[in-house]
Chain A
Amino acid sequence: MGTSDLLEPWPLTGGLSQASALPAVPRLELRHLSKSFGASRALDDVSIRVEPGEIHGLVGENGSGKSTLVKVLSGYHAPDPGGSLLVDGHPVGLPVRPAAARRFGLSVVHQDLGLIDSFSVAENMRVGLFQVRRFTRAIIWRQERQRARHALAELGADIDPEAPVGGLSSAERAEVAIARALQHHEAGRGLVMFDESTRALPPEPRRHFHSLLADVVARGGSVLLVSHQLEEVLEHTDRVTVLRDGRVVADGVRTSELSEHELIRLMLGRELSCGARTRRNASASAPALARVENLSGQLLREANLTIGAGEVVGVTGLLGSGFEELPYLLAGARTAATGTLSIGEQVLELSRPSIRPLLAAGVALVPERRDRDGLAFSETVLDNITLPRVRARSRGGLMRRDWQLREASHVIGELAVRPPDPRMLVGQLSGGNQQKVLLGKWLCSETQLLLLHEPTQGVDVGARRDIEEAIARVAERGSAVLLAGMDAGELAALCDRVIVMREGRIHGEVSGEITPERIIDAVYGAGIRESW
C-alpha cells in the first residue's frame, strides 16, 4: 500500500477532453472505509463516489462521522485497515499523506480554517509551498506575496497579503482559507473539500463563494461540500450523501429529487418534531426582569434595553456591530467601559470586574467558543455541569455525590446528551453534544438572565431542536433570555423581539410577526426604519 505514493506524477496529458471521454472514472472514490476509536465505530464501511464536475454534498447529524471522514481524507486520522481511496482511478495510500494528496489535487478547507493568527496572510497561504532561491535557500517573498495576491484576487477578495491574519474579520479569514485551498486547483482535475467553511460568511461573500464553486466545477474540478446548512446543500449541490451513526444511509441522491423535509428525515432516521416556540404577545408586557443601562464596551455605545421575565430577546447585526459583545459584557466576562445591569432590585456595576456578584444574581453565560470559554475538555461531563455550584452546594467543605449525579442526569435527560454517560470526558463527545453540556451547565442554577451567543453553531438539526427547546423552557420558567447571533432562522424561531445593532448602537427592532427575511432585511437592508 505504501508504494502508491511512488506513482509517477499526475498524467497531465489527458485534460478535459479525455476526462469527458471517460465519464466512468469517478473523481474521488472511497471504498469500504471504517474508523474505530476504541470499541466505538465512528465510520462503518463508508463508500462515497464523487463524479468529475459535480458538487457533492455530505450531511449528517453531529456525531454521524462527517468530521471523522474529513479528518481521514485530510490525513489527520488513520482509518482502520481494509478501505481504499482512489482519485481519478489512481489509488492513494492510506493513511492519507498531505503531500501525496496535494499531488493528486485533493485540498481541504477545515472547519476551524487552520490559520495561524500571528502570521501574515501570505505566510499562512504559502507555508509548505515556499519557493526558495537556488543558492541562499531564502524564501522569495516578492513572489510569494504575488501568488497569494493572485489567489485572493481569483476569489474576489480584497485582502492585503501582508496583513496579519489575527487582525482579519471572520469572513476575511474564511476567504483566506478558501483561497489557500483553491490556489492548488488546476483546471480539469482535483477535488476541494469544504468542511463547514461558509459558517462565518455573511450573505454577500457567501453568494460569491457559491459562484466560485460553480467556477471550480465548470473548469472540470469537483467539490465535496460538508455542511449543516441544508438549504445550502439543496440549492448548491448536485448530489448528496447522508451519514447516520457512521454509515451511509443515502448514497449520492440527486438533490433535485429531495425536499428539505426528506433530507432531515434521512439524517435523523425519524421525523423532526415540529413547532417553533409560541411567541408571546408583544403587547402583553412582562415585568422587566433585567434592565441594561448606558452600557459601553469596545464596540458597544451607550446601549439601553430591558428584558422581561419569560421573554426571549434576540440581538443581531453585522460582525463588528457590537451585538456579539453584549452577552460577554453583561456576564462580566469582559469589563465594560460604563454601564449597569439591574436584576430585579439589584443593581450591578459592569465597569468593574465582577463575575461572582453577577453569578450570585443569576446571570449565566453560554459563550460562542466552547473550547476556549465554555468547557474543560479534559474533565468529565458531570464535573463540567456542576462546576459553577460545587462551592455553594457543598456542606462542611465536602462535595457530595448525590446532587452532582442528580444534576448531571437531569441535564443528560433534558437535552438528550449522547452517549448518556456522566463519566465521559467532554472532549470525547461530538460537537453538538458538547454544546448541550455547555447549556446544561446553567439549567440547574437559579438563572434569572440567560445570555447566549450562537448557542447552536456547528450543530445539526436534531441537536439544534433539543437546544432550542431547552432555551424555550428556560423562558417559560420565568427567566429572561438574551440570544445574540447571526442565524436569522433561529432568531425568528425563538425570539419575542429581535434588536438589530449597527456600529455599536441599537438601530432598530423587529417584533410582531418575525420572519428570517425581515431580520435579514433589517441587518443588511439599506433603508432601515426605526421600528416595525
Chain B
Amino acid sequence: MSALAEGGRGRAATSTVTKLAERFGIIGLWGVMIGVYSAVESSNFDTQGTFQTILSSQAALVFLSMAFLCTVIVGEFVDLSVAAILGLCATLIPVLTVFDHFNVALASVIAVAVGVSAGAINGLLIVFVGVNTIVVTLGMSTLLTGIALAIAHLGPVSGLSASFGKLALANVGGWPFGGLPVSFYYGIGLTLAFAYVLAFTPLGRHMQFVGANREVSRLAGVRVNAIRFGAFVAAGALCGIGAVVVSAGVGGFDPNSSVNYLLPTVSAVFLGTAVIRPGRFNPIGTFVSVYFLETGILGLEELNLAAWISDVFYGAALIVAVMLTTVLRRRAST
C-alpha cells in the first residue's frame, strides 16, 4: 500500500521523463542495441560496412511501409496486399524486359500502372462496395502473388542491365553519408514528403480526420470516400515505384520473396507509433522503425544465428509494436 501511495506522489514529477521516454525510447533503444552488438561482436558489427548494409538495404521496406501508412492513417485496418503488389510489379519489370524485350523504361511505367490499378481495385471494393478491408486485401495478396509466380515461371527472374541498376545503386558522394546508394535517399525524401503533407497541408489534416471519425469529416465537407479511395491508389502507386527501385537494385526479382516483406512492413508501421508522436501513425517514426528493426535483425544474423531468427524477431516485434500502439493510444485519449 505505502509503496503504491509513494508511486502516486512521484507520478507528476516523473511525467516529463515518461513523455520523453515515450517519444524517443525507440531511438534510445536503437543506440543501446548498436552498443551491445558492437561490444559483443566488435570485429563484425562495428564497421562501416555493417552500417552501409543496414542503411542501403531497406529502400523496399520504406516504400512498402509508407504505402501501408497511407491506408492505415485514413482508418483502414489493415492493407495486407502491399507486399504482393510490390512483388508483382517488381516481377513484371524483368519479365517484360528480359523475356519480352520491352524497353526497361516502358516496363517500369507499366509496372507502376499495374500497382496503381491494383490499389484502385482494392479501393473500389473496400470503399464503394463496402467489403471488409482484411478480406479484400488478403485475397488480393494471394491472387497477385500467384500471378507473379505464373509470369515468372515460378522462379527468380534476373538480367536487368547495370545501367538500370544505377537508378537504385548509384553512390551519392561526399560527407556525411558518402558511399550510400541513392535508394536510401529516395526513402528519406519520400518520408519527409509524406510527413510534410500530413503536418502542413489540408489534405493531410483531412486524412487524419477521416481516420479518426468518418461521419464528423463528412459533415465538415471532407470528401471521405474520395480520400479513402485515394489512399488505396496512392498505396498502389508507392508499391509500383518501390518495385522499380527494388528490381533495379537487385537486377531482377524473385516473386517467392515478396511474402517476406509483409511482416516487417506492418511491424515497422506499428512500431512507428512509439516514436516522435506517441500513439499516432507517423511517417518519420515508421522510417526510424524500419532501420531499428533491420539493425536488430542484422546483429542477430551476425551472431551466426540461423535464418529462422528473422521470423522470430519480426513476429515478436509485430506483437510488441501493436501492443505499444494500443497502450499509447489509450493513454493519449484518457
Contact = CB atoms under 8 A, between A and B. Distances in A.
Q: Do A and B come from one complex?
A: yes
Contact of B212 (A356, A373, A378, A397): A378
Interface centre among A39, A376, A383 (most CB of B within 10 A): A376
A387 B217 contact: yes
A284 interface: no
B4 interface: yes
A375 B213 contact: yes
Interface in A421-462: 425, 427-428, 441
B228 interface: no
B241 to A, nearest CB: 22
A374 B209 contact: no
Interface in B233-275: none
Contacts of B304: none
A379 B5 contact: no
Contacts of A399: 200-202, 205
Contact of A356 (B12, B208, B221): B221
A375 B216 CA distance: 6
Contacts of A355: 218-219, 221
A372 B213 CA distance: 8
Interface residues of B, number: 30
B333 A378 contact: yes
Contacts of A378: 212, 329, 332-333
B334 A37 contact: yes
A374 B216 contact: yes
Contacts of B222: 387
Interface stretch (A20-28, A266-274, A388-396): A388-396
A376 B221 contact: no
A107 to B, nearest CB: 25
A38 B208 contact: no
A377 B333 contact: yes
A212 B30 CA distance: 63
Contacts of B4: 81
B43 to A, nearest CB: 47
A331 B219 CA distance: 8
B212 A39 contact: no
B333 A428 contact: yes
A394 B203 CA distance: 10
A383 B1 contact: no
A391 B219 contact: no
Contacts of A388: 220-221
A223 to B, nearest CB: 29
Contacts of B220: 359, 387-388, 441
Nearest to B13: A39
Interface string A346-369: 000000000110010000010100
A336 to B, nearest CB: 16
A38 B215 CA distance: 31
A333 interface: yes
Contact of B202 (A36, A367, A397): A397
A332 to B, nearest CB: 8
B153 interface: no
B202 A391 contact: yes
Interface string B115-153: 000000000000000000000000000000000000000
B206 A391 contact: yes
A95 to B, nearest CB: 12
B216 A425 contact: no
Contacts of A1: 1
Given A36-B11, A80-B8, A398-B200, A365 B212 contact: no
Contact of B213 (A359, A376, A428): A376
B15 interface: yes
Interface centre among A331, A373, A378, A379 (most CB of B within 10 A): A378
Chain A: interface residue count, which band? 35 or more
A128 interface: no
Nearest to B5: A81
Nearest to A356: B221
B219 A373 contact: yes
Nearest to A425: B333
B201 A397 contact: yes
Contacts of A377: 212-213, 333
A372 B12 CA distance: 33
Interface centre among A372, A399, A428 (most CB of B within 10 A): A399
B37 to A, nearest CB: 36
A38 B8 contact: no
A82 B205 contact: no
Nearest to B329: A378
Given A39-B12, A359-B221, A388-B221, A379 B202 contact: no
A373 B206 contact: no
A63 to B, nearest CB: 14
A365 B8 contact: no
Contact of B8 (A81, A372, A390): A81
B11 A38 contact: yes
Interface centre among B206, B208, B209, B212 (most CB of A within 10 A): B212
B5 A82 contact: yes
B332 A425 contact: yes
A416 to B, nearest CB: 23
Nearest to A438: B216
B215 A373 contact: yes
Contacts of A356: 221, 223
A390 B221 CA distance: 10
A129 B217 CA distance: 41
Given A80-B8, A388-B220, A397-B202, A39 B15 contact: yes
Contacts of B213: 372, 375-377
A85 B103 CA distance: 79
B219 A383 contact: no
Contacts of A39: 11-12, 15
A376 B209 contact: yes
B201 A398 contact: yes
B219 A427 contact: no
B212 A379 contact: yes
Contact of A36 (B1, B8, B216): B8
Nearest to A378: B212
A159 B329 CA distance: 40
B58 to A, nearest CB: 30
B281 to A, nearest CB: 11
Contacts of B206: 390-391
Interface in B103-118: none
Interface string B293-334: 000000000000000000000000000000000000100111
Contact of A379 (B203, B209, B215, B329): B209
Contact of B334 (A359, A367, A372, A428): A428
A36 B203 CA distance: 38
Interface string A259-287: 00000000000000000000000000000
Contacts of B332: 378, 425
A398 B202 CA distance: 7
27 contacts: A36-B8, A36-B11, A38-B15, A80-B8, A81-B1, A81-B4, A82-B5, A333-B219, A359-B221, A367-B219, A372-B215, A376-B213, A376-B216, A377-B333, A379-B209, A383-B205, A387-B209, A387-B216, A387-B217, A390-B202, A391-B202, A394-B201, A394-B202, A397-B202, A399-B202, A425-B332, A427-B333
Interface of A: 1, 36-39, 80-82, 331, 333, 355-356, 359, 365, 367, 372-379, 383, 387-388, 390-391, 394, 397-399, 425, 427-428, 441
Given A427-B333, A427-B334, 5 more contacts: A38-B15, A80-B8, A81-B4, A378-B332, A390-B202
